[in-house]
Amino acid sequence: MKISENHPFDLTPGEAIRLQETLRRQVRLAGDPGEVSLVAGTDASYARGSDEIHAVVVALRYPDLAVVERVAASIVTEFPYIPGLLSFREGPALLEAFRRLRSEPDVIFFDGQGIAHPRGLGIASHMGILLDRPTVGVAKSLLSGTAAEPGPDRGSTAPILRDTETIGMAVRTRARTKPVYVSVGHRIGLQAAVDLVLSTTRGYRLPEPTRQAHLYANEVRRGGGQTTLLPGGG
């Protein structure tokens, strides 16, 4: 898909923070994806000692969640992992993967925060602005704000609060399992985001788009992105 906006990524941490404070004003915290027929999930993986990032995007049909397209991009990064600046490390690889994606997802899930971020611009919000698409942050842990423990049943939620403001929702996607932390990325409302996360979860903690992306990202890293050849040929 086409990238609607662009800006340099070869920045110092200080410059990156300044850019975040500028971009945050473009985030749209409301909106309706409308009739959703395609949902995408993204993820990135890398080997311990390597700075080569393998980013992937997986598109799934909604609501049956059949995988319809998978793309990957491997890029070397110099930007280190710094809490609050994740998108400057993984963003370039993710954007390259999106350039290779032919599908046009109605909504995209990212591994990390949306606006539940110190400067209101987690990776889901940042990428959402550049892609000009509805995006949702689905994080496995909290970066900013506090949340009460949701009830034990699947579907239970508890607001993520920063002072008195609700910046996201802790969501129990599976009974007796740690919740995930959902926040608006761009061009979608929180309730719609939470509803989509729950309606795309199938028996695991993570929603299918995110889970399939995670599996594929590891596959790409281990297999070098090459087509799998079965022993013995075929």
Interface with DNA (CB under 7 A), residue from 3, 30, 47, 215 = 47
Q: Please, what is the minimum distance in Å from the beta carbon of residue 171 to DNA?
A: 13
Q: Does 123 bind DNA (CB under 7 A)?
A: yes
Among residues 35 and 94, whose Cβ is nearest to DNA? 94
- Residue among 141, 108, 142, 140 nearest 125 (CA): 108
Least separation in angstroms between residue 93's CB and DNA is: 12
Distance CA 56, CA 44 (A): 6
Q: Which of 74, 77, 113, 201 binds DNA (CB under 7 A)?
A: 113
Closest distance of CB 105 from DNA, Å? 19
Residue 45 binds DNA (CB under 7 A): yes
Is residue 101 at the binding interface for DNA, with CB under 7 A as the rule? Answer: no
Give the Cα separation of 92 and 117 in Å (integer): 20
The residue within the footprint of DNA, chosen from 19, 40, 44, 72 (CB under 7 A), is: 44
Q: Count Cβ atoms below 10 Å from residue 134 Cβ, excluding itself.
A: 26
Nearest distance in Å: CB 63, DNA: 25
CB of 64 to DNA, least distance (A): 26
**Nearest to DNA of 28, 61 (CB atom):** 28
CB of 234 to DNA, least distance (A): 28
Between the alpha carbon of residue 154 and those of residues 115, 116, 134, 137, 176, the distances in Å are: 24, 22, 25, 19, 8
Q: Which stretch binds DNA (CB under 7 A): 24-32, 61-69, 97-105, 133-141?
A: 133-141
Q: Does 184 bind DNA (CB under 7 A)?
A: no
Answer yes or no whether residue 83 interacts with DNA by CB under 7 A: yes
Q: Are 59 and 72 in contact (CB under 8 A)?
A: no
Residue 106 engages DNA in binding (rule: CB under 7 A): no
Which positions lie near DNA, rule CB under 7 A?
A: 43-48, 81, 83-87, 111-113, 117, 122-124, 137, 139-143, 176, 214, 217-218, 221
